[in-house]
Structure 1
Amino acid sequence: MPATLSIILPAKNEAASLQSLLPKLREYAGDAEIIVVDDGSTDNTVEICQQNQVKVISHPYSIGNGGAIKSGARAAKGETLLFMDADGQHKPEDIPRLLAKLGEKYDMVVGARDRASQAGAHRAVANGFYNRLSSWMVGQKIHDLTSGFRAVNAKKFRKFLYLLPNTFSYPTTITMSFFRAGYAIAYVPIEAPKRIGKSHVHVIKDGFRFLLIIIKIGTLYSPQKLFLPISLSFFTTGLAYYLYTFITTHRFTNMSALMFISAILTFLIGIVSEQVSALHYKDSDNEPSGQ
């Protein structure tokens, strides 16, 4: 175990799972600080936490999973933060494996679920797509982009708090931000049991939000990965249409001109975005404020 470890569990109406999880968590966490962030629960989450003598941070209303993560990270005292779900999908016995890997000079270690651990075939297909898309953007293999079970260097994690959304997309954002900043990430395979209670993730709404987050962080990570293919598609379309009109009518049409101009403008926007991205991360090695 690290010298100072804080375990953060965002929870919304997870009293049923916390009742069995918290005693077991203490067995594997030793003297670690355990923080449950009650995100506007209407059940007896707070009472269960008090019975197990763990720290509780209560939101007056539901802010979101990412908002709970940020509240926990701000309040945590440990040099290492470990995030896990409060619904029973993450097993406390896997904690030593994540921490051991983190001790091998990694900045973040993620518990990567296998296909059998995904909550349904649709979620497995969606997560597989997100993993491939984000891997292409960052140029590194991402085994599980959306896993909420991860151990991380607290100081480096807090540098990106301002980027994290208040929704379930926080793992996506922090993973791609760490890659952009040049921090080392490792993956430890885990098996995730079926959750206790009803999931708060909405497949369509949150799935679309995940995709937008990937694109958003992708533009911060490497804008030309997005803008260059779009520029080339405009240019190729314009060139193909020009060849067609030249052969058939011997004319250079306005549509071809529009495609060429769009290609140039998109390419230039990509270049400017690259410079903005570089400025955005230029202070990534500075100490975060508000500690």
Structure 2
Amino acid sequence: MYTPAMTKVPRMSLPLSVVVPLYNEEDNVLLLYNAVSDALAPIGIDYELLLVDDGSHDATCAVAIALVGHDRHVRVLKFRRNYGQTAAMAAGIEAARGEVIVTMDGDLQNDPADIPRLLTLINQGYDIAVGWRKQREDEIARVLISKIANAIMARIMGVRIRDSGCSLKAFRAPLIQNLPMYGEMHRFIPALSQLAGARLIQIEVNHRPRQFGVSKYGFSRIYKVMLDIVSIRALLSYARRPMRWLRLPILLSLLTGLLFFVISMANEAHNSLILIGIAFCFVSLAAFLFAWGLIGQSLTIMDRQMARYATLASTMSTRLEAHLDQEAGT
């Protein structure tokens, strides 16, 4: 995923890492650097600006690398090709050395001037500070779709995040660096973290119109986000109790197989062989699902990735019931 020339930097603790994925943002890189520098200089905090080039085809990486020689705060990671925002975000988070990690987009629609406000909330004891773009500078259709996705996620996962699509967030590093990410998972980090018991606060942040470059967000991402919402809910449910999740399919397959076997006993020899074959298929399916459940149960104990999902899932039912009770009372 990384270029061969990239070497692993020894992990040294810093107060802050700012992680920014970039894809074809050559006109915004220098402006972004200046905005982040201006925002953090007054508070006198030591930090690193981690720019992750997600396989850009323009001069984005060249501009970013030029900044490395100019300012010790800047680090650059480069992908050989475009892997997507979540992969770029995950790579930056993994490489970050800060005790607190701030994520943001590279198109300057997120305002770096809001970073000190997020850090203040982290210093007050919160684990996550999430930006909320109350006044969005986007097309009406995109805003509407985002609101629908947020509502669906709140309903399915039991965590109400006002603006899951806002990349401007601050996290305590140990929390975010232990979360598995894939697909469009960076959007769900706050919800998953809160399910794991993190203290979360949401604040209104500035949102600006894009000045340079082209938006990478199209309607093709909608189905991916929706699919990820359903996938995460199913995965968390399965990770929590794999055998319980498969109990109904196993029971239905077994009963169907037994039903066909009983029917075969009352039929002629020629038809009974066909019915016995069908019965055998359903019983075999029940046995396969049972074995799958046992394997899943073992993975939640033995595999670290599944164990993390199981930890997140352990609080899901209680939080979902509380969320639904709160909705019923309003």
- Do the structures match in fold with TM over 0.5? yes
Aligned to 2:4: none
Check conservation: 1:172, 1:213, Cα contact below 8 A: no
Letter in 2 for 1:13: N
Rounded Cα–Cα distance in structure 1 between residues aligned with 2:205 and 2:114: 7
Aligned to 1:247: none
Counterpart amino acid of residue 214 in structure 2: K
Q: CA deviation at 1:138?
A: 3.2
Question: CA separation in 2, counterparts of 1:212 and 1:147?
Answer: 19
Q: 1:177 and 1:281 mapped to 2: Cα distance? A: 14
The 8 Å contact of residues 147 and 171 in structure 1, kept in 2 or not, is answered as no
Q: Say if 2:56 is the partner of 1:41.
A: yes
Residue 148 of structure 1 deviates from its aligned partner by 1.0
What is the aligned length?
Answer: 236
Change (3 A) 1:15 1:83: same
What is the deviation of 1:278?
A: 7.8
**1:202 corresponds to 2:213:** no
Q: What's the CA shift for 1:152?
A: 0.6
Closer, same or farther: CA 190–95 of 1 in aligned 2, 3 Å: same
- Aligned equivalent of 1:249: none
Aligned to 1:181: 196
Query: What is the identity, as a one-letter code, of the residue corresponding to 2:53?
Result: D
Paired amino acid for 2:197 = G
Distance 1:218 1:178, change over 3 A: same
Match of 1:153 in 2: 172
Q: TM-score, normalised by structure 2?
A: 0.64
The answer to whether the aligner puts 1:5 opposite 2:25 as a matched pair is no
Match of 1:141 among 160, 165, 171: 160
Corresponding position: 1:90 with 2:101: no
Tell me the distance in 1 between the aligned counterparts of 2:76 and 2:92.
9
Cα pair 1:89 1:194 within 8 Å, conserved: yes
For residue 164 of structure 1, what is the aligned residue in structure 2? 181
Which region of structure 1 is more displaced relative to structure 2, 131-140 or 182-191? 131-140
> Could you list the runs of 5+ residues in structure 2 that have no partner in the other structure?
1-12, 249-285, 313-330
CA deviation profile, 1:136-184 (whole Å, cap 9, x unmatched): 2333321111111111111111111xx312x5x2333312321221212
* Aligned CA-pair RMSD: 3.0
Structure 1 position 123 matched with structure 2 position 142: yes
Counterpart of 2:234, as a letter, is: T
Among the aligned pairs, what percent are the same residue?
A: 25
Q: Distance in 2 between matches of 1:64 and 1:171?
A: 11
Deviation at 1:71, TM superposition (A): 1.3
Q: Hey, what does 1:20 align to over in structure 2?
A: 31
Deviation at 1:76, TM superposition (A): 1.0
SS in 1 for 2:102: strand
TM-score normalised by length of structure 1: 0.72
Decide whether aligned partners of structure 1 residues 113 and 222 sit closer, same or farther in structure 2, where only a CA change above 3 A counts.
farther
Taking the aligned partners of 2:103 and 2:143, their CA distance within structure 1 comes to: 21
Q: 1:218 to 1:104 in 2, by over 3 A?
A: farther
Query: What is the SS of the residue equivalent to 1:127?
Result: helix
CA distance in 2 between partners of 1:104 and 1:130 (Å): 30
Alpha-carbon distance in structure 2 between the residues aligned to 1:133 and 1:111: 19
Deviates more, 1:84-93 or 1:103-112: 103-112
Match for 1:76: what amino acid?
A
